[in-house]
Structure 1
Amino acid sequence: MIIEEKLTKAKEKFNNRLRSGRMGQSLEKPKTEKQTDEGSGNGLKYGFSSMQGWRLKMEDRHCVQVGLEQLKDWSFFAVFDGHAGAKVAGICAEKLLNTITQSKHFQKNVSELNDTLSTTQIDSVVTSIKDGFLDLDEKMKTSYPDLMSGEDKSGTTAICALISKSHLFIANLGDSRAVLCRSGAVYFSTEDHKPNNPEERQRIVEAGGNVMISRVNGSLAVSRALGDYEYKQVANKPSTEQLVSPLPEVTVKSKNKTDEFLVLACDGIWDVMTNEDLYSYVRYQLAIEENLGTICSNVIDTCLHKGSKDNMSLFLVTFAGAPAVTADAKARDQKLDHQIVAKVEELVGKNNDEYSFSDLMDDLTVMEWKDLPPGGGLQAKHQVIEETFKKLSKYSNSDSETRETSALSDKTSN
């Protein structure tokens, strides 16, 4: 009976948060404008893109700095997936890097952080990253009255990469994710911090909380985050032992000449793509497109058409071993586009005026296609299909914006 009462209360709280907009209600149509960027330096190139999508507000934030103030050959990339508002995510995008580099461990060793790092120096950087997260989480709570009072209840996940000449320092907090690709395969990926994970659940329970419907106290979908101070109120317990912990997992990888690329992305991407899907699709894109910002934009469009209902943001950082554009790959992609256009023309031509974009996608989906983008599938060719359909159809406003997502249940992550 007690368990049933707790479950009922958890569901009521879940529904209240959903109604209040704290868990990501959806728009009638997605906002598809994107912020896209690219750059290079320190022997690497990067692209970035983000989209609000179906969510009522854009709560993702990001940070990039190629060349740190005291370490010109180091770079920093980060994606912050905010929830219940964007304030904490925005503060972290602005202040986290500086909080890390100004920590006592970092400043003590910064003059010695050369091309090759010793084990002691690596450990010092890892400690600096962890201290930076913990220090910023504490400073935000005491420096912003609306966070201290609980008026603003926002929080954020974080996925960050601090890149030196010899090493990658990858910090993960929450359910955004990093994937490192090397030697033609996914070499490493971070683990999402979810309440159902045994270690996370144990900490939550020991702090007096519970895990209901895969959420902390039936509400929050991640077990580690910056902000979210309503889950950090247990007396006589340090911040790392609260229901929601601000302590990141930091992984160190030595650079390798076969490193291809690193992806940092929020869960709006991973909701609809596996690590292998994204690796395969990015690799396909790298063989036909040189602009990394465009590749990131294409990934986001594809995820939207695969059914992502969340904000979407991702960085793509490429290394010397990344695939290069080839004439053969571009020719195959163009041939596929021509085949798709011809098939759309055939299907629209033989059907009546009531033939909708939904009908077209249904017909195209059941057909056998050769050389569709791996990991992206037919959704990666949505733009080609839609543009052709609009040219041929009397309907200027097709239902293509909602076609592939309407059949999917709304995701209310975070």
Structure 2
Amino acid sequence: MGAFLDKPKTEKHNAHGEGNGLRFGLSSMQGWRVEMEDAHTAVVGIPHGLDDWSFFAVYDGHAGSRVANYCSKHLLEHITNNEDFRGAEKPGSSVEPTVESVKSGIRTGFLKIDEYMRNFSDLRNGMDRSGSTAVAVLLSPEHMYFINCGDSRAVLYRNAQVCFSTQDHKPCNPREKERIQNAGGSVMIQRVNGSLAVSRALGDYDYKCVDGKGPTEQLVSPEPEVYEILRAEEDEFVVLACDGIWDVMSNEELCEFVKSRLEVTDDLEKVCDSVVDTCLHKGSRDNMSIVLVCFMNAPKVSEDAVKKDAELDKYLEARVEEIFEKSGEEGIPDLVHIMRNLSAESIPNLPPGGGLASKYEPNMLYIYINASHQILLLLSCLH
């Protein structure tokens, strides 16, 4: 839910980096929403003795950005600094935490930061009612820990296929629905009490005040699901994204699209920008954020793929020119008319998962249409 703008805000926030045998890029865009409520974290080299570990996360805020922004800055420290994460070892120890202590520490970190934020004056007095989902991956030299609380999602692409995906926490899921009902709530129109579309989140304290119930038994739970996967040479990339992305792309579609873009550019920011632009033109009305983490075995730029992509751009340019020429006395066709014509055709070599929407804007096709529009306007003025 939430209000929308008259036109989308397409300015993007980008970042990239590398280390620990990986590269990352990210992109976030406000889109049609009145406010940007997403946040993210990207850390290569974790403090206090975990230099060869990395952490990436996307936070999808709702009813405000307060909780998402705070978590983006402090969730990692709540995870790595608690006693459960360290087990018997102290911060700074050279001994790597065990798998079980890491999983326990992640859960404790989520519960602790949720309890901590509850004491913020604006959240306590109801002036701010925001909440946020969180999806993350914590990478050690040997393991991946996928972490999910809410309906943002992480996927692992390994050996040319989607190997793993986190599961969305929706109120209509049987286990989630049972907890909600046990806490005295209901699921209506697929929402908690007919209002909130996610069943697990940080913040959202209006849904966490049922007497006699613990923090993980409330209408909305801050407890994450944690999945541990051994790293492998076949690992190619991990994608973390908010539901603004997943609303219009499936796991397979997004991964195939990312793979196709990695074959034409090694600029991970550009790849992420292509994803959010494509999702915007596929109809997403939400804020959009994506973090792409590439391993050593990620797809590499291919001369053949670059050539085919350039040929596709030339083909589209020629088709747009033909459509303009055929319009004749009918008037100047607009972008919708152009896209409708192209959509009806069987165009070869469109990016898988992205399709024609990935060539919509900003790109050569859009620039060409506008250039042609200006030329025809000039000619009409001269006559």
- Following superposition of structure 1 onto structure 2, how do residues 3-402 of structure 1 map, counting pairs within 5 Å? 23-70=1-48, 71-107=50-86, 108-109=88-89, 111=93, 113-114=95-96, 121-142=98-119, 144-351=120-327, 352-382=330-360, 383-394=363-374
CA distance in 1, matches of 2:345, 2:162: 30
CA distance in 2, matches of 1:105, 1:294: 39
Moved over 6 A (4+): none
In the alignment, is the contact (CA less than 8 A) between 1:49 and 1:300 conserved in 2?
yes
The alpha-carbon distance between structure 1 residues 25 and 322, as it changes in their structure 2 partners (threshold 3 A), is same
Which secondary structure state, in structure 1, belongs to the residue aligned with residue 46 of structure 2? coil
In the alignment, is the contact (CA less than 8 A) between 2:85 and 2:103 conserved in 1?
no
CA distance in 2, matches of 1:198, 1:231: 19
Q: How many residues align?
A: 369
In the alignment, is the contact (CA less than 8 A) between 1:390 and 1:396 conserved in 2?
no
The alpha-carbon distance between structure 1 residues 139 and 337, as it changes in their structure 2 partners (threshold 3 A), is same
Listed one character per residue, the Cα deviations across residues 172-220 of structure 1 (whole Å, up to 9, x for unaligned) are: 0000000000000000000000000000000000000000000000000
CA distance in 2, matches of 1:330, 1:357: 26
In the alignment, is the contact (CA less than 8 A) between 1:31 and 1:52 conserved in 2?
yes
Partner amino acid, structure 2, of 1:392: S
The alpha-carbon distance between structure 1 residues 187 and 392, as it changes in their structure 2 partners (threshold 3 A), is same
The farther-off stretch of 146-155 and 79-88 is: 146-155
CA distance in 2, matches of 1:158, 1:94: 13
Which secondary structure state, in structure 2, belongs to the residue aligned with residue 181 of structure 1? strand
The structural deviation recorded for 1:24 is: 1.9
Partner amino acid, structure 2, of 1:130: R
Counterpart in the other structure of 1:19: none
The structural deviation recorded for 1:31 is: 0.2
In the alignment, is the contact (CA less than 8 A) between 1:36 and 1:294 conserved in 2?
no
- What's the TM-score once normalised by structure 1's chain length? 0.87
The farther-off stretch of 345-354 and 94-103 is: 345-354
Listed one character per residue, the Cα deviations across residues 349-370 of structure 1 (whole Å, up to 9, x for unaligned) are: 2103242111111101001111
The structural deviation recorded for 1:104 is: 0.6
- Structure 2 unaligned blocks of 5 or more: 378-383
CA distance in 2, matches of 1:284, 1:394: 33
Counterpart in the other structure of 1:402: none
The structural deviation recorded for 1:113 is: 4.1
CA distance in 2, matches of 1:231, 1:49: 31
The farther-off stretch of 379-388 and 348-357 is: 348-357
- What's the TM-score once normalised by structure 2's chain length? 0.94
CA distance in 1, matches of 2:206, 2:141: 40
CA distance in 1, matches of 2:64, 2:225: 24
CA distance in 2, matches of 1:235, 1:395: 69
The alpha-carbon distance between structure 1 residues 58 and 396, as it changes in their structure 2 partners (threshold 3 A), is farther
The alpha-carbon distance between structure 1 residues 396 and 87, as it changes in their structure 2 partners (threshold 3 A), is farther
Which secondary structure state, in structure 2, belongs to the residue aligned with residue 73 of structure 1? strand
Which secondary structure state, in structure 2, belongs to the residue aligned with residue 97 of structure 1? helix
The structural deviation recorded for 1:112 is: 5.2
